[in-house]
Structure 1
Amino acid sequence: MEIEGGESGAAMPVDDALDDFVGALDQLIGVVEAGGLDGLDKAGLVGFLQRFEQTRNRMSLIDHRAVRVAESVRLAETVGQPNLPATLAWVLRLSRGEAARRVRAAEAVGERVAMTGEELGPLRPALAAAQRAGDVSPEQVDVCVRALEGVDRRGFDPADLDLGDRLLAEYAVTFGPKELRVIAQQVVDRIDPDGTVPAEQLNTERRHLAFRKLTDGMYAVEGRLTGELGAKLHAVLGPLAKPRLETVVLEDGRTVEEPDPRHHGQRSHDALGEVCDRLLRSGTLPDSGGTPATVIVTIPEDDLQARARWGVTSDGTMLSTETIVRLADQADVYPAVLTKTGVVLQLGRTRRLATNGQTVALIARDGGCSFPGCDRPPEWCERHHVTEWSQGGRTDLHNLTLLCAWHHHNFAARGWTCHMIDDLPAWIPPKWVDRDQRPVLNARILARQRGLGLRC
């Protein structure tokens, strides 16, 4: 990009120095690419890598001063950006995270200027000295700076912060970023708040939870929970995240077991999904904009019927048609017919949800998840259309059954299908489970059919 007035008639000393640096770097690259490293023994190669890394680390000193100058000349205003990180991201084509890291480092380990124009030393002098020597990388500096930010406020003794700066600078010379994060947290946890900030209050102030949408359509979740909330969440998710060993007893008495293919992280994710599904179905969430909290997905009707393309939620998340079909069992759908210019011609509302009376009848009939061998109670189940709603399936008892979230989302991929036989949900196993693919009823439903009143 070009900025008006950016050209100068005469080269400045910094331009000459940069030319010399680029020339020296080109020379070094040429020597290395010509085989200059080939003659080194292992110790010599390690020494070269360490020395070059020290040089790379020291280059951050230029970033720090450049950030300071950019702030002083209000570069963000010149290029029409809201702040300096956004400016660096745009001008240098950096990620917002990398741009913010550079600004954060400059504020913490770069030289500062007081409002009176007086030169001030770095906020974290020990870290600044370690980086000036090339002993710590920008990533290590950021780990330490972000850790100390959490206690750099009212109620903490500045002497403790200085001690934390010195300790982390020493540790950063020895440990890599992964180990340094653990050590930095331990150092921060030991900073004495001098009695003005009790531990419980400190933890409360540290609490946060953030959801960040990724480019692939998923979400990154990061945060710190208070001990109380962490214990509650563990109590809720723990039982739901246990491995599920599927045990299916066929009509001929044979038992087939399928281990849970999910790792712990996937099981915890799915457990949270079950909790959210139950909360959404409860109808107790506060309204948003005058309408009940729900997931709204826009997709052309033809695409939904043909299982083609994707739908888009109100926050821009793309969902496959398979996912939308599953959501259709749990939410009202508002089909809109639009012109090519987006003008609404028709707006209709079609009921896909079972009524309260139908849901009570399903609980009375199925007693919980109807998949063979599953003992999930009805409170944790979703309503499933045996013949899908999008394919003309009706919302009535002869076409509905209860399924837990796990089976609702995974039965098809595992080769199972459901059919209503004598008005009961019967499951057809894949051929690898039963070559004859004989229908199987959940033992709970079978017992109820026979008047045994079994609760699984």
Structure 2
Amino acid sequence: MVEELAQADDAVAACVDAAAWSLPEHELVAALDAAHRLQQRLAAVTLTLVREIDGRGTARAQGASTTMVWLRERLRMTVPAARRLVDLATALDTGNPGIRQALADGAINLDQARVIADTATTVHRSAHAEAADKAVGVLVEWAGQFDSTLLRRMSTRILDHVAPDLADAAAAAALAAEDARATRDRHLTISEQTDGRLRLTGTLDAETAALLHAAIDPLSAPTGPDDTRCPGQRRHDALTDVCRLALRTGDLPDSGSDPAQVVVTTGYDTLTRQLNAGALDIGLQLTPDTVRRLACDATILPAVLDGAGQVLDVGRQRRLITGPLRRALVLRDGGCAFPGCDRPPRWCAAHHIHHWADGGPTNLTNAVLLCGHHHRHIHHSNWTVQLGDNGRPEFVPPAWLDPDQVPRRNHYHRRT
């Protein structure tokens, strides 16, 4: 398979720089159709490989918490996109050969395949396997005329075509299935932008959507005739108010043995003389005015850093990695330090590089932040962790994974 894919890669590469401008219109359209069909066939191959990798447990064997996280690191795709890929690969491997064949033939695309697979599963539950096969055939035919959005809308009454006697009961089953998919697909992604802001994207299930509206709608109304904020800005400010209210209750779970809190790092001169900016523990920068405003309602803790931003001292040393020592770890590591992991500090525990039970000291040079999965992985695998020449954690993979055992570092939490 590898050799055949390499040959296909060479053939496609030869087309990349081909002079498309010289093609007559009918050949240009034909080339587009051929490229699209090839893309779908390659998608079918990809799904087969993803299913095999997921079934073998390759991701966990190489240190990733899930196949989705492994795909993100390997193929640079988002976790939600990887999850959809794994889910579809599983669905096509468990009784939908017609969908796989249609995708391999280039008759449908990935989005249409997802719709057809979801519908076939629903029909199979509410009717029988024969009806599910008929539904796949009908939807594959419709896919030649309709995009995935219209196809999903039409699929809600597919039993009217393949099993009319079961249509009403199946409509209720379809609603339940849609609710299950909404629960499965719910997610919230927080991504850092280059200009020091965060972008929120996600999909909420119906219950969470109702809760969000109930929480922010009263706070996002215009405050008066002089309120010049647009609706989006008012909703943004309402979300800020909801978060402040939640933090003030004191009822939030602890975050890595500390109460939930916002951590801002700045110099004393910066704070008192309104110089330069401050840094949040999630890596974003704040203006001097914002730092001073937050300091009005804050606990001030000393932290000594050298010119390279390396933490030299944070309060007194303690037996447990809590308080000032943990804050120093957060400043240094920024989150789970294992390569490829993007878990934030609040989801991490502090790990002794040289185990405390074996005489290892509790200090900054013997500690590293690890999420729950990678904390367990380090304790039960042949990965080792050490501090590199720059004082930051690096992880040495086992010889079976990398015979050269080249140290690896996490690049998700870099501040520069």
Report TM bin, short chain: 0.5 to 0.7
CA distance in 1, matches of 2:229, 2:285: 23
Q: 1:58 aligned to 2:35?
A: no
Select 1:311's aligned residue among 275, 279, 290: 279
Q: SS where residue 174 of structure 1 aligns?
A: coil
Q: Which residue of 2 aligns with 1:276?
A: 243
Select 1:132's aligned residue among 79, 82, 104: 104
Where in structure 2 are the equivalents of 1:249-398 lying within 5 Å? Answer: 260-262=228-230, 264-281=231-248, 283=249, 285-286=251-252, 288=254, 293-305=260-272, 306-313=274-281, 316-321=282-287, 322-329=289-296, 331-338=297-304, 340=306, 341-345=311-315
Query: TM-score scaled by structure 2?
Result: 0.55
CA distance in 1, matches of 2:6, 2:13: 10
- Give the conservation status (yes or no) of the 8 Å contact 1:285–1:293: no
Q: 1:176 aligned to 2:150?
A: no
- 1:280–1:185 CA distance, 2 compared to 1 (3 A): farther
- Give the conservation status (yes or no) of the 8 Å contact 1:164–1:191: no
- Give the conservation status (yes or no) of the 8 Å contact 1:107–1:123: no
Select 2:113's aligned residue among 135, 138, 141: 141
Q: SS where residue 251 of structure 2 aligns?
A: coil
Q: Report deviation, 1:198.
A: 11
- Give the conservation status (yes or no) of the 8 Å contact 2:120–2:135: no
Structure exhibiting the larger radius of gyration computed from Cα positions: 1
- 1:99–1:326 CA distance, 2 compared to 1 (3 A): same
Q: Which residue of 2 aligns with 1:454?
A: none
Q: SS where residue 260 of structure 1 aligns?
A: coil
CA distance in 2, matches of 1:143, 1:98: 15
Which digits, 9 at most, give the CA deviation of each residue in 1:267-298, with x for residues without a partner?
222223233334444x3634636866443333
- Give the conservation status (yes or no) of the 8 Å contact 1:336–1:346: no
Q: SS where residue 262 of structure 2 aligns?
A: coil
**Quick one: percent identity of the two aligned structures?**
21
Which of the two has greater helix per residue? 2
CA distance in 2, matches of 1:53, 1:29: 14
Which digits, 9 at most, give the CA deviation of each residue in 1:108-166, with x for residues without a partner?
23xx4xxxxxxxxx533443232122022234434555x5599699x755557667655
CA distance in 2, matches of 1:265, 1:164: 42
CA distance in 1, matches of 2:83, 2:286: 34
Select 2:192's aligned residue among 210, 215, 238: 215
CA distance in 2, matches of 1:328, 1:124: 59
CA distance in 2, matches of 1:310, 1:191: 61
- Give the conservation status (yes or no) of the 8 Å contact 1:337–1:346: no
CA distance in 2, matches of 1:269, 1:185: 35
Select 1:238's aligned residue among 217, 232, 240: 217
Which one has more relative contact order, counting CA pairs under 8 Å at least 6 apart?
2
Q: Which amino acid aligns with 2:236?
A: H
CA distance in 2, matches of 1:204, 1:108: 15
Q: Which amino acid aligns with 2:313?
A: V
Q: Which amino acid aligns with 1:300?
A: G
CA distance in 1, matches of 2:270, 2:167: 58
Unmatched runs of 5 consecutive residues or more in structure 2: 160-165, 318-322, 324-416
CA distance in 1, matches of 2:239, 2:316: 37
CA distance in 2, matches of 1:286, 1:238: 23
Q: SS where residue 242 of structure 2 aligns?
A: helix
Q: Which amino acid aligns with 1:222?
A: G
Q: SS where residue 200 of structure 2 aligns?
A: strand
- 1:129–1:326 CA distance, 2 compared to 1 (3 A): farther
Q: Report deviation, 1:53.
A: 0.8
Q: Report deviation, 1:59.
A: 1.4
Query: TM-score scaled by structure 1?
Result: 0.51
Q: Report deviation, 1:55.
A: 1.8
Q: Report deviation, 1:214.
A: 0.9
Q: Which residue of 1 aligns with 2:29?
A: 46
Where in structure 2 are the equivalents of 1:154-173 lying within 5 Å? Answer: 157=127, 165=136, 168-173=139-144
- Give the conservation status (yes or no) of the 8 Å contact 1:57–1:131: yes
Unmatched runs of 5 consecutive residues or more in structure 1: 1-13, 113-121, 248-258, 349-456
Q: Report deviation, 1:312.
A: 1.8
How many residues get paired? 301
Q: Which amino acid aligns with 1:40?
A: P
CA distance in 2, matches of 1:18, 1:221: 35
Q: Which residue of 2 aligns with 1:361?
A: none
- Give the conservation status (yes or no) of the 8 Å contact 2:37–2:106: yes
- Give the conservation status (yes or no) of the 8 Å contact 1:204–1:226: no
Select 2:204's aligned residue among 205, 211, 224: 224
CA distance in 2, matches of 1:17, 1:82: 31
CA distance in 2, matches of 1:83, 1:232: 30
CA RMSD of aligned residues (A): 4.7
Q: SS where residue 214 of structure 1 aligns?
A: strand
CA distance in 2, matches of 1:211, 1:56: 29
- 1:63–1:342 CA distance, 2 compared to 1 (3 A): same
CA distance in 2, matches of 1:79, 1:299: 38
CA distance in 1, matches of 2:158, 2:238: 34
